[in-house]
């Protein structure tokens, strides 16, 4: 810069100009830093992971204090794991039945003599408990006959006997599946509409059979319901039995059932349990398919059991399902599920009387052991709150 035109000491002037420049530069730096600090005050940095928490490698045990990831498929039951005692399972049902039909009956019989109003109330109570009109008429007729013939008998005892007679404790309620290790294996086909709990029931039966030393194969012939085969595989993994399935959606159910029967024969397994499709029972196609499954499986090993699963909470509507399935397949037993969801219980009497087929199991909930063999004596005791 030429400053010769400025009068005075030239060196002093240069020094002054330099000092001003330094001051200006320092002010600019201060303003910039102040602006940056204001911006930083508005900025929230991402959270830094704690040095005390580390992510374990795949397959490693989760660190203490954190929840491990749940497996997609439950592991097989530990060796020696056995189902809960049947009497303990049925005790839960008895306590529930006593608060429904039992409470109503106790109220009626607590008055002593049965007058005309009491008979009407008794009829209404039985009907409301899903016993059904025909079975109710039979029970009332038997009760009136007994009280006329034996005027000194306690009415509640007479009703107990009438109920027990109609439930019929002489019926064979065991599963006809031979004995473990027998030369000829057996097959059980499980049928019913969607939503009644067929697949879960198949898994629970498999658990009971494995505990009784049967070798079991599961056939996932419900190829129409999404995730049905996956659900059955979960049960197979849980109880430690193989599952034959198709990974193709909408595959031919009869073909899957045949493959399962063939594997059962090849492996020398004791029991094949077949889970079937269950779209609405008024669809002719479903009924035809069910008949086809029975015929195809029969070519390898004829089924010794065809078990109908019904939802106990549907009441009398379940009877229409039972009639139609009974026309298609030779039913050998009934399994009533969701008994934990109703205090009525009379559907047991109605459906058994309708089909002439014994109730063999009652489903009491979603737990692995919530399937109890049907016990007529305990059932009637539960109905009457005894």
222 and 136 within one domain: no
Q: Is 100 inside a domain boundary? A: yes
Give how far Cα 191 sits from Cα of 7, 246, 256, Å: 116, 19, 15
Q: Which of 331, 349, 371 is the last residue of a domain?
A: 331
152 and 116 within one domain: yes
118 and 216 within one domain: no
Structural domain that includes position 121: 87-167
DSSP letter at 110 equals T
Number of domains in the chain: 2
Q: Which of 283, 310, 331 is the last residue of a domain?
A: 331
User: Strand 371-373 to strand 359-363: parallel, antiparallel, or no bridges (unpaired)?
Assistant: antiparallel
Tell me which of 302 and 13 has the higher pLDDT.
302
CATH number for the domain that contains residue 101: 1.20.120.140
Point out which residues pair with 217 in neighbouring strands: 272
216 and 151 within one domain: no
Q: Which of 167, 202, 236 is the last residue of a domain?
A: 167
300 and 207 within one domain: yes
Q: Is 296 inside a domain boundary? A: yes
pTM, two decimals, is 0.74
The model's pLDDT over 217-261, given as tens digits with 9 standing for 90+, comes to 999 998 887 788 999 999 999 999 999 999 887 788 999 999 999
325 and 190 within one domain: yes
Matching residue, tokens 């002439």: 356
pLDDT of residue 379: 86
Sorting pLDDT into bands at 50, 70 and 90, what band is 323? Answer: confident
Q: Is 21 inside a domain boundary? A: no
208 and 95 within one domain: no
Q: Is 353 inside a domain boundary? A: no
Q: Is 180 left (phi over 0), alpha (psi -120 to 50) or beta?
A: beta
264 and 235 within one domain: yes
190 and 128 within one domain: no
Q: Is 39 inside a domain boundary? A: no
The model's pLDDT over 113-172, given as tens digits with 9 standing for 90+, comes to 788 899 999 999 888 888 889 999 999 999 999 999 998 898 889 999 999 999 999 999
**Would you call 152 exposed, middle or buried from its count of C-beta atoms within 10 A (0-12, 13-18, 19+)?**
exposed
């Amino acid at each position: 810069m030429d400053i010769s035109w400025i009068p005075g000491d030239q060196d002093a002037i240069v020094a002054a100009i330099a000092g001003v420049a330094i001051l200006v530069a320092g002010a600019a730096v201060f303003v910039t830093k102040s602006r940056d600090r204001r911006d930083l005050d508005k900025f929230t940095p991402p959270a830094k992971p704690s040095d005390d928490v580390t992510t374990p490698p795949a397959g490693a045990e989760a660190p203490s204090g954190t929840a491990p990831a749940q497996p997609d498929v439950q592991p097989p039951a530990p060796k020696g794991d056995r189902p809960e005692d049947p009497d303990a399972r049925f005790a839960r049902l008895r306590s529930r039945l006593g608060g429904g039909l039992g409470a109503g009956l106790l109220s009626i019989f607590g008055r002593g003599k049965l007058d005309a109003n009491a008979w009407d109330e008794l009829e209404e109570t039985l009907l409301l408990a899903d016993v059904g009109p025909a079975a109710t008429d039979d029970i009332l007729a038997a009760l009136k006959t007994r009280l006329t013939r034996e005027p000194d008998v306690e009415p509640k005892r007479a009703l107990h006997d009438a109920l027990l007679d109609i439930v019929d404790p002489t019926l064979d309620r065991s599963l006809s599946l031979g004995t473990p290790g027998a030369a000829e294996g057996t097959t059980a086909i499980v049928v019913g509409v969607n939503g009644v709990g067929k697949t879960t029931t198949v898994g629970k039966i498999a658990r009971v059979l494995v505990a009784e030393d049967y070798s079991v194969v599961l056939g996932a012939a419900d190829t129409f319901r999404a995730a049905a085969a996956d659900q059955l595989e979960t049960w197979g993994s849980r109880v430690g039995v193989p599952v034959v399935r198709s990974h193709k959606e909408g595959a031919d159910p009869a073909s899957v059932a045949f493959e399962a029967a063939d594997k059962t024969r090849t492996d020398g397994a004791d029991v094949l349990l077949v889970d079937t499709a269950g779209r609405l029972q008024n669809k002719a196609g479903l009924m035809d398919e069910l008949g086809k499954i029975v015929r195809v499986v029969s070519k390898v090993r004829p089924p010794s059991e065809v078990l109908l699963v019904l939802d106990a909470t549907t009441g009398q509507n379940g009877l229409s399902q039972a009639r139609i399935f009974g026309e298609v397949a030779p039913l050998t037993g009934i399994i009533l599920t969701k008994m934990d969801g109703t205090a009525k219980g009379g559907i047991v009497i109605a459906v058994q009387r309708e089909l002439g087929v014994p109730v063999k199991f009652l489903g009491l909930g979603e737990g692995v052991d919530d399937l109890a063999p049907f016990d007529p004596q305990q059932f009637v005791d539960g109905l009457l709150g005894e």
